[in-house]
Amino acid sequence: MKTHHRLLLTGAAGGLGTALRERLKANCTVLRLSDKSAFGEALPGEEIVLADLANAVEVDAMVAGCDAIVHLGGISVEAPFEAILQANILGVYHLYEAARKHGVKRVVFASSNHVTGFYKQSETITADHPARPDSYYGVSKAFGEDFSRFYFDRYGIETACVRIGSSFPEPRDRRMLATWLSFDDLHRLISACLSTPVLGHSIVFGMSDNAVTWWDNSRARHIGYVPQDSSDVFREAVFARTPAPDLNDPAAIYQGGGFVKATP
């Protein structure tokens, strides 16, 4: 359903942005694409507004005229803190300030499982478990969740914080049997966030209907996300090409996987 007229997609040139570009046209009349650097021409039904998230003026122009935002922009891996500070912390401030000024009332914010990466792989967590970030990146996503909560409580801007697991064409390793989110399910989840009548400020884990999982989305039922893919069809292949985990390795102990020992 085309629930919005002009929908902004940030981080449009990245992996997930590319996967969503075609799919999100179903949700809007005009899809505005944005990224930091030029990435080609707008196709029919699209428009492109480049912006550096650390630049308030550019972000303001990027947001002006939009009805809703899918915010994938910023840094999505571990990186030096100063870089993350600009893109993911200052950038979030700029984005929400622009939303506030221009009356945008709904945002889908790409958060991450790395907000809670220091929980164990044998634990089930909900959105109410306290943050245990596993990286500067994870801390910056926790910041985004708290910041958007503030703008909801203060200004009524609704946000879905989607803690994306591992969104790739298929699961790459055994950990991703739990964390995998197909591109189609990612789109289904974003569509649900955009179209549910009342969103509020919500945290939802972004995963497909995998048999193995560590996350409980029962506090986000009002969003209406129903995944239709599953990592299970890839299970045997993944087992065949990957070694058994070393259970003494923090990357196997904790949900964050390799992030829990990454250095930027």
Is 137 annotated as catalytic? yes
Positive or negative CA dihedral for 37, 188, 108, 8?
positive
Residue 138 binds a copy of itself, judged by CB under 8 A: yes
> Residue 18 or residue 101: which is nearer to a copy of itself going by CB?
101
Retrieve residue 246's tokens: 């070393």
Distance of closest approach, residue 200 Cβ to a copy of itself, in angstroms = 3
Is residue 251 a contact partner of residue 206, using CB atoms and an 8 Å limit?
no
- Cβ-based nearer residue to a copy of itself, 13 or 96: 96
Contact flag: residue 159 with a copy of itself (CB under 8 A): no
Q: Considering only 6-14, 26-34, 43-51, 252-260, which stretch makes contact with a copy of itself by CB under 8 A?
A: 252-260
Among 5, 221, 228, 233, binds a copy of itself (CB under 8 A): 221
Q: Using the rule CB under 8 A, is 218 a contact of a copy of itself?
A: yes
Q: Which residue in this structure is represented by tokens 């064409």?
A: 169
Name residue, tokens 């969103």: 199
Structural contact between residues 77 and 116, judged by C-beta atoms closer than 8 angstroms: no
Residues 4-43 close enough to bind a copy of itself by CB under 8 A? none
Q: Which of 18/124 has CB closer to a copy of itself?
A: 124
Residues in 89-118 at the binding interface with a copy of itself, rule: CB under 8 A: 89-90, 93, 105, 118
Q: What torsion do the CA atoms of 114, 116, 122, 126 make, to the nearest 10 degrees?
A: -130
Judge contact between 204 and 128, C-beta under 8 A: no
What is the SS3 assignment for 169? coil
Strand partners, 70: 9, 108
- Name the residue nearer to a copy of itself (CB basis): 17 or 138: 138
- How close are the terminal C-alpha atoms of the chain, in Å? 41
222 touches a copy of itself (CB under 8 A): yes
195: contact with a copy of itself by CB under 8 A: yes
